Amino acid sequence: MASIWEYANPRKFMTTSEVVLPWTVGIAAIATIGGLIWGFFFTPDDFRQGATVKIIYLHVPTAVMAINAWLMMLVASLIWLIRRHHVSALAAKAAAPVGAFFTAIALFTGAVWGQPIWGTWWEWDPRLTSFLILFLFYLGYIAMWEAVENPDTAADLTTILCIVGSVFAIISRYALDFWNQGLHQDRFALFDGESDVSPVFAWPLVTCLTGFGFLFVALVLYRTRTEIRARRLHALLAQERLS
């Protein structure tokens, strides 16, 4: 019977992802664009914040995905560490720039948002700062991949880095809370009784969240395929040399 691990075989992965990719792209496109349009043009302005509240449709999804991206990298790295599936290592490598990109957008939109709300572009608020640190971890992780020639060595080193980094990212988050009490919006539950976001805002937000989720998956799939092709090229060249 077919075990899930078969998909970790590069060849199998290429064939499967070829089929899956278009669908994810499609859903991502529809949900993201739809959600954003819905959010931007078909929701009333917020009574306190006015039109600026609409940034939330970019800001929150990117922010949430930025964190999930790192989690996905962690999982992929662990799979590589335990089962030595090359594809999962490459998937982690492929996810890093995407995650960094989302983080950057979350920070940027946040900054743009903070301008009208807090009257300043940047606050050393724990939430914001911890995201900045997350961004730094992304940079380090990417740099490590770049720096090491041998792909397997790089995969192992980045795995160790990713694990240690995750631990310290969490520690610093708590350290930061201890350091400075923030202005930033707390985590909120979207649909419980005393929700601070009325369903009017909530539904398009949920659409955007799903949209960005699929967008992430699509991007990672795409980049993983590229990485695999690069590795294949490398392998084939290596063989040319030997004959």
With respect to ligand HEM, which residue has the nearer C-beta, 17 or 103?
A: 103
| The entry of ligand HEM, another protein, none that residue 33 binds, CB within 5 to 8 Å by partner kind | none
Nearest approach in angstroms of CB 35 to ligand HEM is 15
Footprint of ligand HEM on 126-155 (CB under 6 A): 127-128, 131
| The entry of another protein, ligand HEM, none that residue 236 binds, CB within 5 to 8 Å by partner kind | another protein
d(CA 80, CA 183): 39
> Are the C-beta atoms of 224 and 87 separated by less than 8 Å?
yes
- Contact residues: another protein, CB under 8 A: 9-11, 86, 111, 120-124, 129, 132-133, 136-137, 139-140, 143-144, 146-153, 156-157, 160-161, 163-165, 168-169, 171-172, 175-176, 178-180, 228, 231-232, 234-236, 238-239, 241-243
Residue that has been written with the tokens 């070829």 in this structure: 18
Closest CA to 217 of 56, 76, 86: 76
Q: Nearest-CB residue to ligand HEM?
A: 110
**Near ligand HEM by CB under 6 A: residue from 39, 99, 110, 151:** 110
Q: Which stretch binds ligand HEM (CB under 6 A): 37-45, 106-114, 154-162, 231-239?
A: 106-114
| The entry of ligand HEM, another protein, none that residue 19 binds, CB within 5 to 8 Å by partner kind | none
Q: What's 2's DSSP letter?
A: -
Nearest approach in angstroms of CB 239 to ligand HEM is 46
Please name the helix (run of DSSP H) or strand (run of DSSP E) that holds residue 147, with its range, or none.
helix 126-147
Nearest approach in angstroms of CB 120 to ligand HEM is 8
Cα-based distances in Å from 40 to 32, 54, 55: 12, 6, 8
Amino acid (1-letter code) at residue 165: G
Residues 6+ apart with CB under 8 A from 155: 80, 86, 89, 90, 92, 93
Residues 6+ apart with CB under 8 A from 14: 225, 228
